[in-house]
Chain A
Amino acid sequence: MPRVSYTAPATVDEAVKALAGAAGLARVLSGGTDLLVQMKSGRVKPEVIVDTKHIPGLIGIREEGDCFVIGAATPGAMISADERLERAFPGIVEGVDLIGSTQIQGRASIAGNLCNASPAADSVPPVIAARATAVIVGPNGRREVPVEAIVTGPGRTSLAKGELVVEFRIPKPKPRQSDAYLRFIPRTEMDIAVVGCAVNVTLDGNGVCTDARVVLGAVAPTQLIVAGAAEALIGRKLDDDTLARLDSAAQAACHPITDKRGTIEYRTKVAGVLARRAAAIAFERAGVRPQSDSIPGAI
Chain B
Amino acid sequence: MSKIHVTTVINGEPVEYLCEPQQTLLDVLRDELGLTGSKEGCGSGDCGACSVIVDGRLVCSCLMLGAEAAGRTVTTIEGVANGDTLHPVQQKFLEHAALQCGFCTPGLIVAAKALLDENLNPTEEETRYWLAGNLCRCTGYDKVIRAVLDAAAVMRGEAA
| 121-149 of chain B: CB within 8 A of chain A | 129-134
Considering the chains assembled together, what is the distance between the CA atoms of A32 and B59 in angstroms?
A: 11
Looking at chain B's contact residues, the main secondary structure is mixed
Tell me the chain A residues, 99-150 only, with Cβ under 8 Å from chain B. Answer: 100-104, 106-107
For residue A256, give the distance in angstroms from its CB to the closest CB of chain B. 23
The answer, among A4, A102, A107, for a CB contact under 8 Å with B64, is: A107
A-B contact count (CB 8 A): 96
CB distance from B37 to the nearest CB of A (A): 16
Please tell me if B54 contacts chain A, counting CB pairs below 8 Å. yes
How long is the Cα–Cα vector from A1 to B60 in the complex, in angstroms? Answer: 16
Interface residue B21 (Cβ < 8 Å from any Cβ of A): yes
Contact of A100 among B43, B111, B133 (CB under 8 A): B133
The answer to whether B48 and A101 touch across the interface, beta carbons within 8 angstroms, is: yes
Q: Is B20's beta carbon under 8 Å from chain A?
A: yes
Within 8 Å CB of B11, what residues of A?
none
- Report yes or no: B45 in contact with A37, Cβ–Cβ below 8 A: yes
In the complex the two chains form, is A189's CB within 8 Å of B129's CB? yes
Q: Which of A8, A32, A33, A77 contacts B57 (CB 8 A)?
A: A77
Q: Is the CB of A3 within 8 A of B65?
A: no
Interface residues of B (CB under 8 A from A): 1, 4, 20-24, 43-46, 48, 51, 54, 57-60, 62-65, 67-68, 70, 111, 114-115, 129-134
Chain A residues engaging chain B, CB cutoff 8 angstroms: 1-6, 8, 29, 31-33, 36-37, 39-41, 49, 51, 53, 75, 77, 100-104, 106-107, 188-190
